[in-house]
A and B are shown apart, each in its own frame.
Chain A
Amino acid sequence: MEFNYTVSQVAPIALLPFFAFVINAFIVKKFTKLAVAISCTAIFLSFVISAIIFNDFFFNVYSADYHVHRVFDWFNLDSSLGLMPFKMGIYIDNMTAVMLLMVSGAAFLIHLFSTYYMADDKRFGRFFVYLSLFTSAMLGLVLSENLLSLFIFWEIMGFCSYSLIGFYYEKEGAGNASMKAFMTTRVGDVFFLLGIVALWSVVGSVSYVDIYNAINEGLLNGNVEFLGLSVSLATFAGVCIFLGTVGKSAQVPLQVWLPDAMWGPTPCSALIHAATMVAAGVYLSLRIFPLLELGGLLPLVAYIGGITAFGAATIALVQTDIKAVLAYSTISQLGYMVLGIGVGSYNASFMHLITHAIFKACLFLSAGSVIHSLHDHHTHAHVQEMPRMGGLRKKMPLTFFAMMCCTLAITGAPLFSGFVSKDRILGDALLLAVDLGGSWWGPTLLGFGGALLTAFYMFRMMFLSFFGAPRDKDLYDHTKVEKFSINRNFPLLILSVFTLGLWFSGSFTGQGLVKVPGVENKEWFKTTIVKPELSSLDKFKKYSSDSFSQSPVPSQMWEKSKYDSTYGLSEEEAHHIHHVHHIGAIISVFIFLGGLILAYLMYVKKSLSPAVFVNKFSGWYQALLNKYYFDDLYIGKLIKKGLLPLNNLLSNFDSKVYDRYFIDGWAVVIRQLYRLSNFVDSLFVDRIMVDGTGTSVRFFNVILRTIQNGKVQFYIIVLFFVLASYVYRVTNF
């Protein structure tokens, strides 16, 4: 069947989960199993359609320029003249296709895992309702062709995150955490919307293609003036939109919500806080990359990414809850992605997004599997604290295998996907530091330091949980031995298969050093996904937007992709780049080994003691435990000392001044009006008109009464007078 990218073929990707959400919202109480089945089927069908699209993009037409851009007019602000049309539509290029496949695939596997994890929860069906809405929003976001529809889906996902984090609403912490998550991302979203409006005012549309063309034509070179400062429009818009990323992808300073988001169920953490929602922020930054480049914001972006990566890694060192370690690790890896954008490593940053999604989802799901198995009989809760675990390798071998694969991936072991992507980012950072020097060394060193810490704490987590002697004998004895079940182990298995580096790069190391025989030049990721940097925005002039009814342009028009890592560069430069990347790769390998050995010594061999470090750096230890006092700053100083008094002031003003004078004051006015109208009423209406009628009738009655007195002789007199007057009149006497 020919895939024409018509509405009915593309829209089901986002609409099928949405319909599942709508249907489930009604039937979830009565037909829970049916609702769950509908959700899972919907996401599987979305995955199938995404696979078809992926097939079309990467196996049918292998070109860097292949895209599908369809729009329709949603509404016009002035429909008679067609001014300010708000268009909606889809824009699918290679990046979108990969992202669609990843999102729908990961979402499907997480749906499958949730049927195991949430099976004994009494709100089992409700979880799937929220999951369906969430996946439909994420898929809509990936498909969207302009910033406005991206923002719409962004907000829907924010709401779903709020609902899912607060899923266990009996626990007080969950309610607070969900509110915190929503509000913190909201701060970023306000600036994001401001940035959208700023772009719209100049460009006239917020479609990606239109923005790229506008940047190319120099429309955004002007300045915007506010608060006495004059900043370039590109800088202003770029900062505002990047703040959206900062909020959603939990960068410093808005990273405070993601650790608290662990109050939600583990599959929700896997989907939202590993694979999809936090990746949406990075996706946004990837899309507006030329704007950031034009505004000169790339150093800022790199620093924020680097600080986040390193800082979160330091906090993860001291966490004892297994999900908290994973949460901080997520923040850290997101910092890597943003760092990658900052140093201009577009391709690798996107690859890290994809690979991180896969292995982090697998890590969260495995952690969920571990937690679900560890059931405390005394408190009837599941155990998440690592000090109570230990030696679980024998009890849960399959989960251990999946978790080990993913840990190797995240720490950057060679041959795994994490090494490919993270190493490329670090290599590009090193390249910029070596070439340009100066302030570019900051992000680079932060990146490498973070990698070392990542290796250390991830292996710490693994050694504490799975190796050694069990610390809580009672818990260990009651844990059942893991048996293979489709719901639980199949997703883990699939995800861990994809953590191999082979899927993403044709060589073992990703640098073209050691090639796998038979797959030469299959650097498919690098060749198809092209960085839209400022110098290469000309090609977007040819990108037209079709309406939804047309069929795609025949594929003969697209030239086959021939980008590789050294496209367009001279021989010398290519060699220099390769050289620096080699150095970076070697450093990465050493970092990985160093972290592994350190963790091994500390937690398995027990030759080094962590207590020594704790005592020596006790001040730092306290700071790390308090998460660098960010929460105290925000809640204690900003909210308690700043926002709440302002609230109280405003509410006092409202009730004491406004209500008293402007609202209640009307009662006094009305009372006076009543008195006036009462007076008028009693005088004019009652006395003059109502009583006056009676009085006048009585008056005339007195006069006229005498005429009808029943006396015949009086009538005769009157008759005589009238006749006499007639006679006088007639005769002119």
Chain B
Amino acid sequence: MTLYSYLLISLFLFSCGIIVMISRKNIIAMLLGIELILNASAINFVAYSRFLSGNIDGHVMSLFIIVIAAAEAAVGLGIVIRFFQLKESIHIDSAAELKS
């Protein structure tokens, strides 16, 4: 209803997404978290476009966010499948080969 309500929702979604990313050990679960984050930013854009800006640019931006999210999900899942073929596991800690 007000701008801030949408911002609050967006904040909540964003933080949930962060928590999912940080706390889940499954790579695909982390991808879910990424989706949440992207979603939150899209809501943010549209909300600002609706309440503070006179034009429709926010919608366009959200559209592109959706596009990019889709592409990124596809690529990411391809990588995950490849990773799974190599490592036989989708635990995030088995991707720690850059450990010093």
Contacts and interface: CB of A to CB of B under 8 A. Distances in A.
B96 A711 contact: yes
Interface string B60-98: 000000000000000000000000000000001101111
B22 A716 contact: yes
Contacts of A712: 30, 92, 95-96
18 contacts: A705-B100, A708-B98, A708-B99, A709-B96, A710-B95, A710-B96, A710-B97, A710-B99, A711-B92, A711-B93, A711-B96, A712-B30, A712-B92, A713-B21, A713-B22, A713-B30, A716-B21, A717-B22
A270 B28 CA distance: 127
B100 to A, nearest CB: 4
Given A712-B30, A713-B30, A716-B22, 15 more contacts: A708-B98, A708-B99, A709-B99, A709-B100, A710-B95, A710-B98, A710-B100, A711-B92, A711-B99, A712-B95, A712-B96, A713-B21, A713-B22, A716-B21, A717-B22
A728 to B, nearest CB: 15
Contacts of A709: 96, 99-100
Contacts of B100: 705, 708-710
A717 B30 CA distance: 13
B11 to A, nearest CB: 12
Is chain B's binding surface mostly helix, strand, loop or mixed?
helix
A713 B95 CA distance: 11
Interface of B: 18, 21-23, 30, 92-93, 95-100
Interface of A: 705, 708-713, 716-717, 720
B18 A720 contact: yes
Contacts of A716: 18, 21-22
Nearest to A711: B96
A18 to B, nearest CB: 88
A723 to B, nearest CB: 11
- 5 residue pairs, one from A and one from B, having the closest CB atoms: A710-B99, A710-B96, A708-B100, A710-B98, A713-B22
A713 to B, nearest CB: 5
A490 B22 CA distance: 131
A720 B23 CA distance: 14
A713 B18 CA distance: 10
A724 to B, nearest CB: 10
A713 B23 CA distance: 8
A144 to B, nearest CB: 93
A67 B100 CA distance: 105
A712 B29 CA distance: 13
Nearest to B33: A716
A476 B57 CA distance: 153
Contacts of A720: 18
A494 to B, nearest CB: 112
A197 to B, nearest CB: 87
A713 B98 CA distance: 13
Contacts of A717: 22
B82 to A, nearest CB: 16
B96 A713 contact: no
A708 B96 CA distance: 10
Contacts of B22: 713, 716-717
A710 B21 CA distance: 15
Contacts of B98: 708, 710
Contacts of A710: 95-100
Nearest to A714: B22
A720 B33 CA distance: 14
A100 to B, nearest CB: 102
A712 to B, nearest CB: 6
A101 B22 CA distance: 125
Contacts of B21: 713, 716
Contacts of B95: 710, 712
Contacts of B96: 709-712
Nearest to B95: A712
Contacts of A705: 100
Most chain B CB neighbours (cut-off 10 Å) among A708, A713, A717: A713
Contacts of B23: 713
A1 B88 CA distance: 123
A720 B15 CA distance: 11
A710 B23 CA distance: 16
A715 to B, nearest CB: 9
Nearest to B34: A716
A720 B92 CA distance: 18
B97 A713 contact: no
A189 to B, nearest CB: 89
